[in-house]
Chains A and B, each alone.
Chain A
Amino acid sequence: MKGILICGELKGGKITSVSKELVTTGRRLSDKANQPLYFLLMGDKLGIIAGKAADMGVDKVLAVEDPALADLHPERLTAVLKDICHRIEPLLILFGQTDLGRDVAPRLAAKIGASVCMDCADLAFDETGDVLLQTKPVYGGNAMAQWASPNCFPHVVTMRPRSEKPSEPDPANPGEIESVAVDIDESQTRAQLITTLKEEDGGIRLEDAKTIVAGGGGIGGREGFRLVRELAQTLGAAVGITRVPSDENWMPKKLEIGQTGHTVSPNLYIAIGISGAPQHLAGCSSSKVIVAINKDPQARIFEEADFGIAADYRQVLPPLIEKIKDLKE
């Protein structure tokens, strides 16, 4: 067995930042273990993307182009990955903890007899250089668990987004590109994909936002989110939410940040009416500066914030919005 295989992902015809983070992780590990780094691309039209991928600092890009790979169809993607794994026999297969990774990584591990560790925040070899230590948050982020799988190869790992910096392009050392033809056996595809709906509201994508204003259960209802939105608008920020506003239908579910939602790391994260459950912090704790506004001075969010105001957001936000407007002028 040799090599590290990254399962790359595309969004809007571009390599996702999570995939670039995987290159950083993969490169670090492959240099340490003196192993080649493969980057797998699957899609209906790859075009110039394979070339871009080859410039990211990987040894080889494996490009699988097939009209059947246009959508996220886990059975088909697993079939392709299984085929690729049989050909190159990698030691480690890396995924992002994304819609794709969450679903496909366990399927692949079961099919190829691999060990699997989901949602890792850190991945490193031990001092012997032979054992891969896989560290992941458990108990909703209350604890961290470090695992090893010395007797089970290969390893399948999904990495939590924002665990590492995205790789920088390295066009001076381009990797090879190999176009791989994979026969997708449709008789093995039992689930029929009827539709894929992408909810796009034209707003700033949470993953790309430099500033995020997030509201939690303490906002109290739909009405309160007007102020949250107004602050976001003033800052040119994206709006995020915790589980409560999502479950209560105050705000669209797709804005949810946390273990069961998006993982973000903006420069500024303003948490309003958020208690600070570890399941929420899991999605935002790598933000550069965290500001918390909560009327409960004992709220856990203050332990995770850089600046805090213990007061009712209804009283804090209007003057804060005015002050920010002043400063921006």
Chain B
Amino acid sequence: MNIIVCVKQILDPEIPVSKFRLDERNKKVIPPEDIPPVINPYDEMAVELAIRIKERHGGRITVLTVGDNSAARAVKHALAMGADEGIVLQDPVFEDSDSFGTAYILSQAMRKIDDYDLILCGRQAADWDEALVGIILAEILELPVVTLAESVDLIEGRLQIKRVMLDGSQVFSVPPPAVLTVSHETGQPRLPSGWGIISASRKEIPVWDAIAIGADKSRTGAGASRKNLVKLFIPVKERKCEMIEAETTEEAAGKLAEKMRMKGTI
């Protein structure tokens, strides 16, 4: 089973709030200098799921990303985990593409690769939190898509996918090739092994530009974007916390219960 995993490099979502800063004028996040960007954690889970499928059924795992030179880091991480090859899709005309543009760029790369049974994406990128690219990619390629996948089985040539929902789960069966967006219920991604890191560092990561994938530049970049960012801001906090101080925790607990009763909440 040949699998393509789409990954994105993002600002580390675990950074302390004190390090999260905005350039409101240019509507951009200022990345802290001392904290390197990371592979989107949901994409890392997609890589993990791909490796588990490969361990059972064999095949090759190709990792794709749309981004600049530094984006190869996210690809290297996936290679160190156990993916076989990586490709960076990079061109000035790709910059500032929205989810439709990004999905289009990825779809053109998929058409060039051609030989795949499964495309995996993380359920959403933990920066803009849109959860769009995987679904739009499937629509462009006219492939079936199952979102929020937790696990995949191969049964009589079809993919059987368990997907998570808020109040339960569903099982879908789709013929390959198909697109899945992967949820965190998949479980913790493995850590790259020492050997994995060494072999990943030795691998060449080809860069494909718009010409290489036959991308129509009228469909990429800021100009093709279906929505424009008007404003980016940090929300104002409305609450002020009253810290309850007391000699003993018993006393503090008693005071807290009284406060809750006064608020009419108990």
Q: A: which residues have CB within 8 A of B?
A: 71-72, 74-75, 98-99, 102-103, 106-107, 109-111, 114-119, 133-134, 136-150, 152, 190-200, 211, 235, 243, 247, 253-254, 259-262, 267-268, 278-279, 288-292, 297, 300, 302-312, 315-317, 319-320, 323-324, 327-328
Q: A110-B140, A146-B230, A308-B243 are in contact. Are A259 and B168 (CB under 8 A)?
A: no
Interface residues contributed by chain B, number (CB under 8 Å) = 74
Among A72, A74, A118, A289, the residue within 8 A (CB) of B132 is A118
Q: A139-B29, A140-B13, A195-B170 are in contact. Are A106 and B242 (CB under 8 A)?
A: no
- In the complex, whether B49 has a CB less than 8 A from a CB of chain A is no
B161 CB to nearest A CB, Å? 9
| Chain B window 226-241, contacts with chain A (Cβ cutoff 8 Å), 1 for yes, 0 for no | 1111111111010111
Docked pose: A327 CA to B265 CA in angstroms: 12
Q: Which of B77-85, B111-119, B245-253 contacts A (4 or more CB under 8 A)?
A: B245-253
Q: A144-B235, A319-B250 are in contact. Are A191 and B174 (CB under 8 A)?
A: yes
Pick the most buried of A107, A150, A317: most chain B CB atoms within 10 A of its CB: A107
Among B148, B172, B184, the residue within 8 A (CB) of A194 is B172
Q: A262-B166, A303-B237, A306-B241 are in contact. Are A193 and B172 (CB under 8 A)?
A: yes
Docked pose: A308 CA to B160 CA in angstroms: 47
Q: B: which residues have CB within 8 A of A?
A: 11, 13, 17, 20, 22, 29, 99-100, 123, 126-132, 135-136, 139-140, 144-148, 160, 164-175, 183-185, 188, 226-235, 237, 239-244, 249-250, 252-254, 256-261, 263-266
Docked pose: A140 CA to B257 CA in angstroms: 32
Docked pose: A134 CA to B13 CA in angstroms: 23
For the complex of A and B, 7 pairs with smallest distance between CB atoms: A110-B139, A268-B265, A319-B253, A320-B253, A323-B257, A190-B144, A106-B135
B44 CB to nearest A CB, Å? 13
Task: List residues of chain A with CB within 8 A of the CB of B228.
Answer: 147-150
B80 CB to nearest A CB, Å? 22
Task: List residues of chain B with CB within 8 A of the CB of A140.
Answer: 13, 126, 129
Docked pose: A109 CA to B140 CA in angstroms: 12
Listed by A's residue number, 8 A-B pairs whose Cβ atoms lie within 8 Å are A144-B235, A146-B233, A149-B226, A191-B172, A253-B164, A307-B241, A319-B254, A328-B266
Contact B172–A306 (Cβ < 8 Å): no
Docked pose: A297 CA to B244 CA in angstroms: 11
Docked pose: A144 CA to B170 CA in angstroms: 32
Contact A115–B128 (Cβ < 8 Å): no
Task: List residues of chain B with CB within 8 A of the CB of A103.
Answer: 135, 147-148
